[in-house]
Structure 1
Amino acid sequence: MIDYEWRGRFDDHEVNTLHAEGFAHRVLDDDWWGQVNRHSLGWVCARDGADLVGFVNVAWDGAAHAFVLDTLVAGPVRRRGVGRELVARAVEGARAAGCEWLHVDFDDGLGPFYFDSCGFRPTEAGLIAL
């Protein structure tokens, strides 16, 4: 059984490993715990026993807008609804904090996940590569 926790405890190595798997890069040594505690509204951890198998970060503007970032699910538990539940918990957390909007930006291939499974609707947006 997968357990989900809003603002759950994790160690940096767990998220760095999951991020490397999810975004196909080497394992980094980022300070995730410090980053989310300084800048995020919250995050959701998914655990299968003691193992971190899912994570999503919810950044925000300090008021009405929250942003889903870094939705990550470990390979062995993909296609079991873990990502959908992570996002659902992120929606609950943002709503409970009084946010009015939850935004997400994603690669083209993830449209069916975010639109069909998670309930986001398409909008026009702009982007500048920095």
Structure 2
Amino acid sequence: MNEMKSQIQEALKVSVEVLSAANDGPEADWLVLDNEQAKAGMPLIEIGISAASKLYKQPKIKKALAEFSSRCINTLTYTEATISVLNNDTSEAHRGRTGSALEQLNQLLQQIDEAFLVN
């Protein structure tokens, strides 16, 4: 279970780093991301989603941890959909979704240790 926690925590941290580094783009609704950082972060986000899904399916976890893992799945999936790695060596994120994702990601990072302690 420690490995799953580490993978989820890494995905949350990477997501925050990628989205926090966003800069204003040429279009009002879109933020420009560091392309290399975004490309490197996407596989880690996918690993986090997979780990949270495996955790959620564990038969002996307590309800609080199951609910936490479900929130991680939803938030990381939302984050993955917020980040667009484009074919022209650029990456972007929707401005409105970025703020929402960052808020949720930071909440989960604050709660992860407690969520795993209760199990």
| Same fold? TM cut 0.5 | no
Name the one with the larger helix percent. Answer: 2
Return the TM-score normalized by structure 1.
Answer: 0.27
Name the one with the larger strand percent. Answer: 1
Return the TM-score normalized by structure 2.
Answer: 0.29
Structure number with greater CO (CA < 8 Å, separation at least 6) is 2
